[in-house]
Amino acid sequence: IVIVIIAVVLGLTLRQNRSEFESTFLSRCEKFNQYDCKKVWGAFQQAYVNKDPCKVPVEAYDPLIAAALFKPQCNRMMFWSKTKDVVHGFTEKRDCFVTLEDTLLGSVLDGLTWCGKEGSKDTFTNGCPGWSDCENNTVRSFWIRASAAFADVACGDVTAMLNGSINTPFNPTSIFASVEVPRFIASRVKNLNVVMVIQKNNISNCTDPSLKNLTQTLDTGITFSCKDVSESRIQECGAKPEIACGACW
Ligand code: AVW
């Protein structure tokens, strides 16, 4: 009897986990009109279900990207690296910029962990490999694929917030440096403007040598600019809608 009870409780917990993930996915998705969320969920699942969670290549998410196309938002696209909180603190309050996490797929999966298992058709949220446990893990491959798709549609003036409180604001191993910047093409992107977020104890700014690598990676024809902006100014601009987007920095 004890074993049966344990089995039932365990079974219910797993089922609940699975449906909880699916309902989070669907309810976040339904905030966006124009998408068939059931279809998007199906395309999402096929990427990792019934697979070893360390053997999900980036391309496994191609059908998902095709099902939930990113719309170009010229002059409003915002990229970031090691500045997630300050960027989203700002974009949450103002309409000036769109980040990956404001798009359908980015907002649906932001903060979530998921994976499949060989021989199972379920989605698990526990026991999934961490970001650097193996290269081709479910979550990491998704963010690389989604970031690539978001960068592919970048156009006009593009903005990126980098962190002035770390040694290498433009880090070659980051998604921004390794996946996004190489996909900006001069025929679509006019200028890349880096906003260097400066806190009290900043150790880098727009003169940082890592930005040299950035300008060297940029497709010829895309101009580059960089502005040191204090974190408090970014917060102020987020809080004051009367400041025009273009006057924030
Ligand atoms: P990031 P990126 N463990 O701030 O340039 C767990 O370094 O790479 O900026 N999660 C991780 C790890 C890790 N070691 N490293 C990265 N992540 C996840 C998409 C985590 O969710 C947007 F369009 C972290 O918050 C940006 O322009 C996120 O990756 C660009 O890619 C970003 O790590 C930011 O990627």
Cβ(199)–Cβ(165) below 8 Å: yes
Q: Determine if ligand 1 sits within 6 Å of the CB of residue 178.
A: no
Q: Please work out whether the CB of residue 173 comes within 6 Å of at least one atom of ligand 1.
A: no
CB 140 within 8 A of CB 175: no
What average pLDDT score do residues 65-84 get?
Answer: 95
Interval 118-132 mean pLDDT: 96
Average pLDDT score over residue span 211-229: 97
Percentage of the chain exceeding pLDDT 70: 93
Q: Which residue has the higher pLDDT, 220 or 5?
A: 220
Tell which atom from ligand 1 comes closest to the C-alpha of 180: 27
Ligand 1 in reach of 150 Cβ (< 6 A)? yes
* Residue from 170, 176, 193 whose mutation best tests the ligand 1 pocket (most atoms within 8 A of CB): 176
Q: What is the mean pLDDT of residues 214-234?
A: 97
Residue nearest to atom 15 of ligand 1 (CA): 131
Is the pLDDT confidence value at 11 over 70?
no
Q: Is pLDDT at 14 greater than 60 in this prediction?
A: no
pLDDT (tens digit per residue) in 24-38: 999 999 999 889 999
Q: Specify the pLDDT at position 18.
A: 46
Q: Which amino acid is at 68?
A: A
Is the shortest distance between the CB of 168 and ligand 1 below 6 Å? no
Angle, CA of 66, 67 and 70, to the nearest 5°: 65
What does the alpha-carbon distance between residue 34 and residue 150 come to, in Å, rounded to a whole number? Answer: 18
Place of tokens 């609940």: 16
Per-residue confidence band for 201, with pLDDT thresholds at 50, 70 and 90: confident
Q: Please compute Rg for the chain using Cα positions.
A: 20
Non-local (6+) Cβ contacts of 205 within 8 A are 164, 196, 198, 228
Q: Which atom of ligand 1 is nearest to the CA of 110?
A: 21
Q: Find all residues with CB under 8 Å of 32, minimum gap 6, and list them.
A: 104, 107
Nearest CA residue ID for atom 13, ligand 1 = 131
Per-residue pLDDT of 132-174, as tens digits, reads 999 999 999 999 999 999 999 999 999 999 999 999 999 999 9
Residue 16 has a pLDDT of 52
So what's the ipTM on this one?
A: 0.91
Average pLDDT value over all residues in the chain: 94
Cβ–Cβ under 8 Å, residues 136 and 52: no
Assess whether the C-beta atom of 208 lies below 6 angstroms from ligand 1. no
Ligand 1: which of 61, 81, 115 to mutate, most ligand atoms within 8 Å of CB? Answer: 81
User: CA-CA distance, 10 to 24, in Å (whole number)?
Assistant: 21
- Cα distance between residue 75 and residue 154, in whole Å: 8
Q: pLDDT at residue 103 above 50? A: yes
Give me ligand 1 centre to Cα 6, in Å.
38
Distance CA 128, CA 46 (A): 17
- For 2-25, what is the mean pLDDT? 70
From CA 170, how far away is CA 82, in angstroms rounded? 10
The answer, as to whether pTM is greater than 0.80, is yes
Residue 34: the pLDDT is 87
